[in-house]
Amino acid sequence: MNTGKSYAQYLDQQDELKHFRNEFYVSDETIYFDGNSLGLLSKRAEQAVAELMDSWKRYAIDGWTEGHHPWFYLSEKLGDQLAPLVGARPEEVIVTGSTTTNLHQLVASFYRPNGRKTKILADELNFPSDIYALKSQLKLKGYDSSKHLIQVPSNDGNTLKTSDIIANMTDDVALIVLPGVLYRSGQILDMKTLTKEAHKRNILIGFDLCHSIGSIPHHLSDWDVDFAFWCTYKHLNGGPGSVAGLYVNKRHFGHEPGLAGWFSSAKEKQFDMEHHLTPAADAGAYQIGTPHLLSITPLIGALELFQEAGITRIREKSLRLTNYLMELIEAELSSYGFFIANPREAAMRGAHVFIEHQEAARICKALKAAGVIPDFRTPNGIRLAPVPLYNMFAEVWQTVQILKSIMDKGDYKQFENKRGVIA
């Protein structure tokens, strides 16, 4: 392991994606390793929002069909642009709602308890919002979630075993909802195998791709996944509260969505204003109401950058960044009580490094005070996400040096070991 600064600089010189950093507003004073919570603003996203404001100013109501990006078709158009990132056909993807409302929509559409099959299978490590949504969907159908929501346990508190998940795919399970990449440990679940095993047992399966979209390639259509949903403000850099996305396998087209609204309509029928819904023939049917145009627009610019860089190259650089980070942590920080808690194999880890330390909360505060933005995950986790489109190997090197100095000097001791409001 070469721990020298010049090696980091060499890696940056060799980096094919290095020019993308100029596309973003990156501060020179900080090292931003939190792009998996909120991606940075790109100049193109900013430009797209300026164009939207201009269309509103100039065209008013006609902005729906005129201007730079006619609003009426934007959710579909952005769905087409997102499709390659999830490995789907363009008509299987739509940009709409939020992660949690899309999960509600998809469970309302695909959870059809029948006979013995009444249960929903999830896991005990998923993000709380997903679990709350599943419990409330069970309640709406008249089921007691303490009996009908099964959560696959984790042996180590950080990861899940494919075999444990499969062992829980029992006869009474109607639907499975799991993350593609776990938000804490960054573990990638084997979506292909899990889908195959679920289908063998006549169970529908969907994935939450919040931490996998924009960070790893997917092949949802080939894997035959039934549905998926994700946010766009993390790896996709869509901005705070940007509009989310969903995927529905084309096998399921032609049904009314569980939660309907006039934007579920076939576009040519929508303004007939009939009280009988003719749903769109594709994933567009899973929209509900008027798209949140002010928060969908940044994606026009943000997704262009993904098209130009390509997810294969993004993933390749991401693995090199995180690998370099883990090697430096091991070489430089082994005596300070840090434990790398994400899976080590490339095929099993997403785009962030997850380290555990008893003093994690205040080490994060000390890092922030020293200009490195990590994020803390209770009770003792530090997530560090070097983002391929805008972070550099030199920043990874610098971060490890800063961390070492914080530990050597005990700088973290001046902070309380407690999380902030937004951790």
Ligand X SMILES: *Cc1c(COP(=O)(O)O)cnc(C)c1O
306 within 8 A of 214, measured Cβ to Cβ = yes
For the bound state, the minimum distance from the C-beta of residue 365 to ligand X, rounded and expressed in Å, comes to 22
Q: Is 100 annotated as a binding residue?
A: yes
φ, ψ (nearest 5 deg) of residue 383: -100, 130
Q: Is 290 annotated as a binding residue?
A: yes
- Single out the residue of 119, 354, 117, 129 nearest to residue 229, CA to CA: 129
126 within 8 A of 208, measured Cβ to Cβ = yes
Residues contacting 299, CB < 8 A, separation 6+: 45, 48, 78, 81, 95, 232, 236, 238, 242, 243
The answer to the question of residue 127 lying near ligand X (CB under 6 A) is yes
- Single out the residue of 210, 239, 238, 248 nearest to residue 351, CA to CA: 210
**Residue 57 CB neighbours (<10 A):** 10
251 within 8 A of 60, measured Cβ to Cβ = no
The answer to the question of residue 223 lying near ligand X (CB under 6 A) is no
Identify residues 371-400 at the interface with ligand X (CB under 6 A).
Answer: none
189 within 8 A of 325, measured Cβ to Cβ = no
Angstrom distance (rounded) from CA 180 to CA 228? 9
3-state SS, residue 208: strand
Residue number with CB closer to ligand X (223 or 233): 233
Q: Is 211 annotated as a binding residue?
A: yes
The answer to the question of residue 34 lying near ligand X (CB under 6 A) is no
Among 183, 306, 397, 412, binds ligand X (CB under 6 A): 183
Identify residues 81-100 at the interface with ligand X (CB under 6 A).
Answer: 98-100
Q: Is 278 annotated as a binding residue?
A: no
Q: Is 130 annotated as a binding residue?
A: yes
Output the CA angle 224-249-93, nearest 5 degrees. Answer: 125
Residue number with CB closer to ligand X (17 or 293): 293
Residue number with CB closer to ligand X (55 or 297): 297
The answer to the question of residue 208 lying near ligand X (CB under 6 A) is yes
Residue number with CB closer to ligand X (229 or 338): 229
For the bound state, the minimum distance from the C-beta of residue 209 to ligand X, rounded and expressed in Å, comes to 8
Angstrom distance (rounded) from CA 45 to CA 390? 14
Q: Is 118 annotated as a binding residue?
A: no
Q: Is 72 annotated as a binding residue?
A: no
Burial class (CB within 10 angstroms; exposed 0-12, middle 13-18, buried 19+) of 387? buried
Residue number with CB closer to ligand X (189 or 361): 189
Identify residues 129-158 at the interface with ligand X (CB under 6 A).
Answer: 129-130
**Dihedral (Cα; 22, 327, 354, 159), 10-degree rounding:** 130
Per-residue x/- track, 227-256, ligand X (CB under 6 A): ----x-------------------------
Q: Is 233 annotated as a binding residue?
A: yes
34 within 8 A of 375, measured Cβ to Cβ = yes
For the bound state, the minimum distance from the C-beta of residue 345 to ligand X, rounded and expressed in Å, comes to 22
Binding residues for ligand X, total number by CB under 6 A: 12
For the bound state, the minimum distance from the C-beta of residue 72 to ligand X, rounded and expressed in Å, comes to 24
Q: Which stretch binds ligand X (CB under 6 A): 39-47, 138-146, 206-214, 253-261?
A: 206-214
Identify residues 100-119 at the interface with ligand X (CB under 6 A).
Answer: 100
Q: Known binding site: residues?
A: 99-100, 127-130, 208, 211, 233, 262, 290
- Point out which residues bind ligand X (CB under 6 A): 98-100, 127, 129-130, 179, 183, 208, 210-211, 231
Q: Known binding site for pyridoxal 5'-phosphate: residues?
A: 99-100, 127-130, 208, 211, 233, 262, 290
